[in-house]
């Protein structure tokens, strides 16, 4: 009898300990606490969440900028001055509203995972939230449909960094509440409507470089690519296994939110933390797709 009771007690103890990981999964992951001496409320814009935000582009003038940093990883070095021709880049990450128009017009597949994986997607379908769960091919197809293209990695970094050596869009000081990343009480558990964080804006006026979602860019990833003497307008390796992701996302923490940080992923990967924005060569900001098409038509005559 004593042996039977011992076996039952042992089984109960095993069941209790085995339930701990399951309980943790059901509760979800807790975000790291904010340091007590930091402000608890971020400085956010008050955009109407249900009114679609108009598309806008920011013109980036021709000239050099400082690429890379010695404060980062091996693949962010050495620091070089790189010249880029003039281009324009989307002020905001592409939103659900604008991507839906692309899907409706082209019958391209919708952005979103199988329902069994959609833990946070129900909270990320606002018209002004960045579209996520798109692959590199999806992002490339959207930009082409708009008469644009994905920005190169160098174009993305210049647009977010400006022409000095800052590590974040707002400067060189860490500010956990300046962007939407993995800090408790920043106001958002998932991606925020684009342009919500007033300080996460580059010297050129491009929003959400340090937070919200990671962004696909055009280049194949190369760990040694910065060590090659870059000419003007670098475009990365000719081929590769991974495409580059730039910027920080709402799950990013630590110094990875700096705008020099480089990430990589296979191009067919889709995730709720990854979105994108588009760019165009030599076109003034604010020019619509129809205006670009008319201009190209005139040139072809």
Tokens of 246: 């730039």
Bridge partners of 80, per DSSP, are: 67
> Looking at per-residue confidence, does 88 or 186 come out higher?
88
Q: Which of 49-58, 97-106, 193-202 has the lowest average pLDDT?
A: 49-58
Give the per-residue pLDDT at 79.
Answer: 94
Q: What is the pLDDT of residues 111-122, one digit of tens each?
A: 987 655 556 677
> Looking at per-residue confidence, does 227 or 284 come out higher?
227
Average pLDDT over residues 93-115: 92
Bridge partners of 263, per DSSP, are: 245
- End-to-end CA, the chain: 97
Of 50, 95, 90, the C-alpha closest to 194 is: 95
What's the rounded Cα separation, in Å, for the pair 154 and 63?
12
Cβ proximity of 59 and 284 under 8 Å: yes
Give the per-residue pLDDT at 40.
Answer: 52
**Is the predicted pLDDT of residue 59 greater than 80, yes or no?**
yes
Residue found by looking up tokens 């800090």 in the block? 183
Mean pLDDT of the residues in the chain? 83
Q: Which of 52-61, 201-210, 238-247, 281-290 has the lowest average pLDDT?
A: 281-290
The residue ranges of every structural domain in the chain are 41-300
Give the per-residue pLDDT at 263.
Answer: 96
- Tell me how far the alpha carbon of residue 57 is from its chain's centroid: 17
Cβ proximity of 194 and 180 under 8 Å: no
Tokens of 122: 């129900």
**Is the predicted pLDDT of residue 49 greater than 70, yes or no?**
no
**Is the predicted pLDDT of residue 294 greater than 90, yes or no?**
no
- What is the pTM (predicted TM-score) of this model? 0.80
Q: What is the pLDDT of residues 121-172, one digit of tens each?
A: 778 899 999 999 999 999 999 999 999 999 999 999 999 999 999 999 999 9
> Looking at per-residue confidence, does 174 or 166 come out higher?
166
Q: What is the pLDDT of residues 1-48, one digit of tens each?
A: 445 554 555 555 545 544 443 343 333 333 343 444 445 556 666 555
What's the rounded Cα separation, in Å, for the pair 248 and 75?
17
Q: What is the pLDDT of residues 229-260, one digit of tens each?
A: 768 999 999 999 999 999 999 999 877 889 99
CATH code assigned to 41-300: 3.90.1580.10
Give the per-residue pLDDT at 22.
Answer: 38
Backbone torsions φ then ψ of 83, nearest 5 degrees:
-95, 135
């Amino acid at each position: 009898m004593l042996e039977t009771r011992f076996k039952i007690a042992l089984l109960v103890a095993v069941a209790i300990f085995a339930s701990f990981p399951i309980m943790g999964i059901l509760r979800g992951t807790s975000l790291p606490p904010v340091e007590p001496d930091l402000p608890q409320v971020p400085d956010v814009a008050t955009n109407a969440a249900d009114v679609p935000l108009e598309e806008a582009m920011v013109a980036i003038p021709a000239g050099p900028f400082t690429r890379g940093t010695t404060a980062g990883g091996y693949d962010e070095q050495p620091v070089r001055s790189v010249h880029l021709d003039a281009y324009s880049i989307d002020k905001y990450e592409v939103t659900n509203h604008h991507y839906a128009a692309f899907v409706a017009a082209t019958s391209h597949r919708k952005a979103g995972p199988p329902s069994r994986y959609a833990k946070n997607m129900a909270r990320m379908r606002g018209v002004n939230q960045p579209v996520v769960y798109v692959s590199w091919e999806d992002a490339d197809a959207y930009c082409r449909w708009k008469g644009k293209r994905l920005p190169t990695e160098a174009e993305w970094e210049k647009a977010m960094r400006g022409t000095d050596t800052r590590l974040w869009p707002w400067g060189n000081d860490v500010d956990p509440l300046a962007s939407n990343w993995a800090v408790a009480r920043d106001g958002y558990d998932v991606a925020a409507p684009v342009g919500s964080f007033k300080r996460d804006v580059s010297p050129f006026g491009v929003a959400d470089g340090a937070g919200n979602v990671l962004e696909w860019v055009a280049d194949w990833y190369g760990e040694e690519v910065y060590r090659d003497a870059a000419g003007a307008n670098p475009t990365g390796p000719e081929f590769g296994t991974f495409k580059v992701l730039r910027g920080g996302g709402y799950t990013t923490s630590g110094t990875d939110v700096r705008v020099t940080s480089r990430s990589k992923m296979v191009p067919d990967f889709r995730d709720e933390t990854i979105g994108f924005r588009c760019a165009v060569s030599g076109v003034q900001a604010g020019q619509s797709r129809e205006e670009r098409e008319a201009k190209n038509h005139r040139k072809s005559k």
